[in-house]
Structure 1
């Protein structure tokens, strides 16, 4: 297999030195004056980042946080979220970044399951945060962003704990949706995010003069690892936006001087669907990482915007398994890229490898220590289940070609992916079944006009009741994150089941796709569900 091109030499670090503290201290000493982050009209240099995260470590220590403690962070795209993540890392504590849309039972579950002792939350989230905290006795206190910001004024010496932190120590718990069960907390060592950042900098050809723009949520691995850590390793800078807006997107790109951005889920299609403009090439962007990728988008972005499209295959549990780099052959457009520092086996349902070119489950194992999760927090059985036969089983299906490029096919698991969010069908169903008019529910993915999935739910009414679909949606809006709320609803007298009483989801998914035009559609009914 031919070696991948390396565009710029990077300042490398031995695997054992890949901790937040070690790398930030080195960057501050070598390139301290270089801009690392811009956000909200403010600028932070590499030296500033090291100092402010030291101060945040001191602030968390004064708040009673010690090595090994877990701290939940319910914060939007603000620099304080990154300072908190890295300040906790310097203490040897574990950051638990939460989806800012979490509410109700899901928020209680995340706080409780993560064993968090402290929560930092946005002020406008307190209405849903306070009842959740009351149900989780382990949470000692809640801090707002103002209290967090005040940490920056504290002493900024290197915390003594920083020297004791190992690359293999837990740094983050990042929640990914369950398939047939609750969301799982992925325990990520310090080294995992750095493995991603290194791969992206090397194989995507990022340079010190690049500006990596992100409007994706920093509580997700894509923005945190594939943009922020990638910039850290390229010794480039990050332009942080509060969130994605199709109307503001190109305006922010131009104002920030961005040269790289990532588009996850439907975002690339939404950008592409904007009206053509004489200003389509009025920008500095040279690379856009698009996931999922397609030949149409890669060719279209090149012709219309003059941008080279790259891509990856990755999960929160692992690293950049493949990277489609800017110099890879045009005929590989649409693939997830070439294998990078990871062994991949495509296996059948019994775990045996299939021939090159055939579709099967994507199984992997890294070639370097520290590039994958340590396991699922307090879920030993789930950890063992995905790591059988010395391979990590992704639950995704694809094929490898003779040149070592991976082509994604579909999902073997039941997760629904909507607008870049992985949605647990189990969690959607759990909320629906709490509605007094619903006896049983089954959530399945259906195609979205923006790419990826929309959520559809089949409902079995409770005896003697009638289901009011609009009222069900109102119930969902109150009890689940906005992106989980079903778009389509349908009624059945009973769910199809196997002799062992397992719901035959594949039958329901097929029926939903075939009947999509006839199902009740909340958007057609004029019911819009957005961020709280």
Structure 2
């Protein structure tokens, strides 16, 4: 594929050009509905015009909290057309976390599903810059928006989407303008918003097309949420660039996955670790062998990857990427299958080193910290929004220190060896142990707490908390869960909880979480489990 000149790397330009090239060709399929490239562009232009009419200006930040649907895609495109910045918010966010995302990002508007509006009502006073709330109605809603707030103006989605289309002559963004701000899970403190320029997003999409061999004949299926970088940046944008078709699903379902794959005749898809495990543990069926899938982008590749390929007749591809940096390595369908557990080799646009604690390279095969540099301007992220000092602190000796551990083999293939100790990966979600601990410590009876991952059923990690009570206090564990639930995303709330007289500490006063984890996993069936106590969390 010919490299797109730097000054032409904007999503707005790509959308216009592909609408002209592919016209009536299907771009998006969604439960029996189909939208052509031309229709996708026209619908996005209408929303873009409506956003401008509502007062949203180029380079302003707009937060988005919507379920998977075609309108979510058009909104992302519309914001790109007017040069505004999209701030995707995890749909599970509530309380302090929701307020933080809206406030720290300087969002002037929030496009939100009707079902999430009450969450915003709780934190409106903490988001003084957020002046507009654009509400997408529930399926049973009449379309009339009757919400009101003290400071935010409420607009119905139809008021935005029914505007006349944006002119093709309207000035668009520059390649260097920020397209998205994606927030991390906050593994080393508060969540950080990584700035992704237009040029970066388009160049990354091009690497997907080049390495994985996507073409205009492909149908690319995704059931991952649009607020994650994977669905938009690993599926929608590469499909747009390749002239392919996107098959969008509302969410992942183990029982429906292969049926949906077959119905849309998908040729490509992406799977996260929990999805892989659920599909692997499912009873074999005819549907899992009658599909048209060529490749599945799997992150990370499991131990049973070779058996997975054989059972499901699909080639696994993979990568190593960091929200703070972007794409570093890719493992394509033509790479040696004996390297399938790797994340591939470093891209030409990236330098990757495995360094020890003194920032010295370790020998091939030895584990050290994965550190990155970019070799091409605008290939990587442009730093953290309003946190330049935090960004600079991660660039010791001109290397971005990822906090991830890994090793390189003799052929230069990267093998992931473990995540930052404060990061918990649960069913595709990155969870900051520090953020969960911060909430639990607010409970009046808690003296100290350590949050960590434990391996439970389905070969997956679950969140566990070891809690120390204040002297003279006692804690009802069910009540502690109810205390946590309104203040964090449902997937962050600990499933397992234990009460301890004290936490094990190192000589320098740091909690030895590995000891807590090792101890808990030997007796997990005896540890208090909210699921066993019938506590269900609102999503």
Q: TM-score, normalised by structure 2?
A: 0.92
CA contact (8 A) 2:259 2:287 kept: no
Q: 1:443 aligns with which of 443, 451, 471?
A: 451
Does structure 1 residue 65 correspond to structure 2 residue 56?
yes
Give the conservation status (yes or no) of the 8 Å contact 1:11–1:233.
Answer: no
1:323 paired to 2:314: no
Residue pairs, 1:39-438, within 5 angstroms: 39-146=30-137, 147-158=156-167, 162-163=171-172, 165-297=173-305, 299-341=306-348, 342-438=350-446
Take 2:230 and 2:439, find their aligned partners in 1: how far apart are those partners?
28
Q: Which consecutive residues of structure 1, in runs of 5 or more, have no partner in the other structure?
A: 1-9
With 11-20 and 498-507 compared, the bigger mean Cα shift is at 498-507
Deviations 1:248-280 (A, max 9, x none): 111111111111111012101101111112332
Distance between the aligned counterparts of 1:158 and 1:20, measured in 2? Answer: 16
Secondary structure at the counterpart of residue 290 of structure 1? strand
2:49 aligns to what SS in structure 1? helix
Supply the distance in 1 between the matched residues of 2:406 and 2:425 (Cα, whole angstroms): 17
Residue 393 and residue 192 in structure 1: after superposition, are their counterparts in 2 closer, same or farther (change >3 A)? same
How far apart are residue 438 of structure 1 and its match? Answer: 1.6
C-alpha displacement of 1:295:
4.7
**Number of residue equivalences:** 520
Distance 1:153 1:48 in 2: 14
Structure 1 residue 160: deviation in Å? 5.4
Relative distance call for 1:388 and 1:53 in structure 2 (3 A) is farther
Query: 1:456 corresponds to which residue?
Result: 464
Q: Distance in 2 between matches of 1:494 and 1:159?
A: 65
Residue in structure 2 matched with residue 519 of structure 1 by the alignment: 527
Residue 410 of structure 1 deviates from its aligned partner by: 0.5
Alpha-carbon contact 2:187-2:420 (below 8 Å) kept:
no
Q: Cα offset for 1:367? A: 2.5
Q: CA 1:526–1:131 in 2, change beyond 3 Å: closer, same or farther?
A: closer
- Per the normalisation by structure 1, the TM-score is 0.93
Correspondence list, 1:465-504, <5 A: 465-498=473-506, 501-504=509-512
Residues 1:500 and 1:359: Cα distance change in structure 2 (over 3 Å)? closer
Find the counterpart in structure 2 of residue 6 from structure 1. Answer: none
State the shift of 1:500 in Å.
5.6
Equivalence for 1:7: none
> What's the offset of the Cα at 1:247?
1.4
Structure 2: runs of 5 or more not aligned: 138-155
Structure 1 stretch displaced more, 145-154 or 268-277: 145-154
How far off is 1:292 after superposition?
A: 1.0
Q: How far apart, in 2, do the equivalents of 1:250 and 1:132 lie? A: 40
Query: Matched residue of 1:132: which SS?
Result: helix
Which stretch has the larger CA shift, 379-388 or 204-213? 379-388
Which secondary structure state, in structure 2, belongs to the residue aligned with residue 322 of structure 1?
A: strand
